[in-house]
């Protein structure tokens, strides 16, 4: 029997948190592999990425930057993943050491924090917005 949390009239199961953590890991795996199709499937159509610099990228702009090697990701090691679910919305903060070379800079390992808003659509969790910062 699965334990559930009752958030008012919304039921949250441990499976939701597991699915979101797996989605986060799938996202990084696709970023490293430059697997645009897989990335497309984990990002909502109205997805927005807000970089450390404040630059905002739509889903299509972000995917293009990965495909054309403006953003290059090589590896990721997760330090902490914190997930809070409220019905069909969730907030996740992932802290990971990400080895990357971006915008023509040299390869470097960043202590990258990604604060994500997620939505459940048609039974699937998707990233709707992400804010990148360091920790």
Other CB atoms within a 10 A radius of the CB of residue 121 amount to 12
Residue 94 in tokens: 């992932």
Judged against a pLDDT cut of 50, whether residue 47 lies above it is answered with: yes
- Report which of 102, 105, 127 is spatially closest to residue 21, judged by C-alpha positions: 127
At 18-46, the pLDDT tens digits run 999 999 999 999 999 999 999 999 999 99
Residue range 3-10: average pLDDT? Answer: 50
User: How far is the C-alpha of 33 from the C-alpha of 52, rounded, in Å?
Assistant: 23
Is residue 9 predicted with pLDDT exceeding 60?
Answer: no
Backbone angles phi, psi at 97, to 5 degrees: -95, 115
**Strand-strand pairing, 124-134 and 43-50:** parallel
Half-sphere exposure of 78 (CA within 13 A, CB side): 14
List the one residue out of 129, 101, 133 whose CA is nearest residue 114.
133
pLDDT in tens, 58-108: 999 999 999 999 999 999 999 999 999 999 999 999 999 999 999 999 999
Q: Is the pLDDT of residue 2 over 50?
A: no
């Amino acid at each position: 029997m699965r334990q559930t949390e009752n958030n008012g009239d919304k039921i949250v199961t441990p499976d939701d948190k597991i699915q979101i953590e797996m989605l986060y890991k799938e996202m990084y795996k696709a970023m490293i592999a430059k697997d645009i199709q897989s990335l497309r499937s984990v990002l909502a159509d109205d997805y927005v990425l807000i970089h450390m610099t404040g630059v905002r990228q739509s889903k299509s702009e972000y995917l293009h930057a990965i495909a054309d090697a403006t953003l290059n990701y090589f590896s990721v090691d997760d330090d902490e993943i914190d997930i809070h679910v409220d019905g069909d919305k969730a907030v996740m903060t992932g802290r990971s050491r990400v080895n990357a070379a971006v915008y023509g800079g040299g390869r470097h390992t960043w202590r990258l924090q990604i604060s994500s808003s997620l939505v459940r659509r048609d039974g699937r969790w998707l990233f709707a917005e992400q804010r990148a910062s360091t920790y």
